[in-house]
Structure 1
Amino acid sequence: MSKAEPLILIVEDDFEIADILRHYLERSNYRTLVASDGDTALLYAEQLRPDLLLLDLNLPLRSGFEVLSVMRMKRQTPVIVVSAMDDDIDKLSTLRMGADDYVTKPFNPNEVVARVAAVLRRGLREKPSTLQLGNLSFDRDACSFSTPGGVIDLTPSEFNLLSHLIENSGRAFSRGDLLDACLSESDAVDRTVDSHMSNLRRKLANANAGVTIRTIRGIGYRLDTGT
């Protein structure tokens, strides 16, 4: 199964710096999104669930320190601070708050891309063999989904879609994203995704999985706990 390339949220109010980072990351096959203030960064982080944040500290509306603090209270998305603040106290403060790395401006863009790759690789190595969401358990080694009632019978396409959604639970994907990530070797169209999602909803409900596939208006689908 092919997966969508990692989504990197660039949180930077300097347009030129954000554009340089975006260019180098996209050249290395990462997807990017830019937020120019702290409030927008937290909104994007909550709604789109990026794989990693590149976070400036001096931001409008809400500082990078505040963004990092809120992020760490809610989830463990990797964060690399990219800041002109080169005082050791600032570096230690962000690392103690949960930042995964710290890059001082001015920077070499290629070094930033290399650090992004290193942090993401570290996260992959730390992934557990089993994921749990609600009553739904995903065993990566056995390639199976189950609940306390037993294994859920899924078609290969349903399995690919549900695997992608649970690996990125809470993050919304467009139909096009899901086609590219899960059904790229077929001639499927957007309506095929809708059909698979309808079948998955029924199977998850019948299995009392405690999760639901929600339709996000104007975007697509995401997997959340609840019914």
Structure 2
Amino acid sequence: MVEATAARRTGLLHRMLVVRRLEQRLMRAVPVGDEAVAIGLLSVLGPQDAVVSAGVRPWHAVGAAALLFGGDVTNAPDPAEAVAAARRKAGAGGCRIVAVCIPGDDLAGATLAPPACAGLPVLFCRGEHLVAAGRSPVVSVLSADSADVEAIAGAAATEVGELRTGAGPCLLGLRAPAADVDPVELLATRMRTDHQLDDNALRAIGRAAAARAEEVLERLGATRAP
């Protein structure tokens, strides 16, 4: 279980807001809600680990987070390429975990963990409900609300812990949130309930996040929006 301290929650909230601001500035029109997946997952991976993504949503947020906080991220054109890239990276050794992120609708009826991945430290992350086949080499299957950054971090931490012991692969399902659920507001409300946040602090975190995103954009040579 990931500890719900004020400091950790503030860090998660800040990072989600930074990713949102960066996406808004780079993409100009992005849906709300993908930040929890990106930050929840990356918060439990180490600097030696890697992420391979397939598709656009919600995995484009992972790339934005990697720009901000570092990380080895590969964007694959389709799920089959993503699995192949993850297998290559995991097979290269180096004590790394490889998280492969695939939208649920792109893998309907497909095998998520082919025999070639058996024993490799791969964390499959897939949207919607997950079912592991009877003869699948998957070690464990957990799921979390895709709008709940703490739930994602907790489930991912459990499975990453198993992978670091030599087990693998594991499967993390990301359930679609209820309509109009904002992951930033979800965490902020939880922090207010636990007396870890007030409106002034939230505004300060938002200002700091916007400033951090602009610093990254300047380093990338991006032009400020008018």
TM-score by length of 2: 0.38
Which structure has more strand as a fraction of its residues? Answer: 1
Structure with bigger helix share is 2
Larger radius of gyration: 1
TM-score, normalising length from structure 1?
0.38
| Relative contact order higher in (CA < 8 Å, ≥ 6 apart) | 2
